[in-house]
Amino acid sequence: SQQGEEDPQALSIQEGENATMNCSYKTSINNLQWYRQNSGRGLVHLILIRSNEREKHSGRLRVTLDTSKKSSSLLITASRAADTASYFCAFSGSARQLTFGSGTQLTVLP
Amino acid sequence: DAGVIQSPRHEVTEMGQEVTLRCKPISGHNSLFWYRQTMMRGLELLIYFNNNVPIDDSGMPEDRFSAKMPNASFSTLKIQPSEPRDSAVYFCASRWSGTGARETQYFGPGTRLLVL
């Protein structure tokens, strides 16, 4: 299965700024999820957006989905140093298994 | 809940040796996934089980790789013989798959494998 692509590959911002990461995919999807991975750890689920939804919020996270463009974005508002991690999009199609994107390495400078 | 448990956390072995990675999924979850993560290839799905039955093993790279799930609380991923290119972090993940399931996967901490 083909991976999704994410951009940027790396993002460095100051604490308090917003961080935006983008994900593109090529297949039809049932839902799209975002995961976070701290260095040396496993992935942790952040948020899921279904194919019939356009926007979803969870705390400081905002996810948008544009199925016509086959793209999604993750916005982290008021970033903190503790948000430093890699962020992966993952999409689920008819096979109900996840295909992960290439990831964005976010560094939030204090 | 203890979450997904993987062992060992780190493994260093020599080329040609057999390697066995272990995973205990979250109690009550009925789907289990094995992934491999490398810098070059990112996160790849190797195989997944549903109700202890292998559903899709198309990601298993070669016959040297095999996976089993003898019961709902235990799975193994075996590499025999191991090669240096197998060096990676191997993750196990589980989820509940049923009517109305959210398809959120819960990942273990991973096994960092180095084959010399």
pLDDT tens digits, A38-88: 998 999 999 999 999 999 999 999 999 999 999 999 999 999 999 999 999
Closest in B48, B56, B109 to A42, CB measured:
B109
Supply the pLDDT for residue B103. Answer: 78
By CB atoms closer than 10 A (0-12, 13-18, 19+), residue A72 is: buried
pLDDT tens digits, B43-97: 999 999 999 999 988 889 889 999 999 999 999 999 999 999 999 999 999 998 8
pLDDT tens digits, B4-48: 999 999 999 999 999 999 999 999 999 999 999 999 889 999 999
**Is B49 touching A (CB cutoff 8 A)?**
no
Q: How many CB atoms lie within 10 A of CB B22?
A: 16
Residue of chain A nearest B40, judged by CA positions: A102
Q: What percent of chain A has pLDDT over 70?
A: 95
The C-alpha of A15 sits at a distance from chain B's nearest C-alpha, in angstroms, of: 27
Q: Pick from B79, B81, B85: which is nearest to B114 by CA?
A: B85
Supply the pLDDT for residue B1. Answer: 64
According to DSSP, residue B73 is labeled T
Q: How confident is the model at residue A98 (pLDDT cuts 50, 70, 90)?
A: confident
Distance CA B33, CA B49 (A): 6
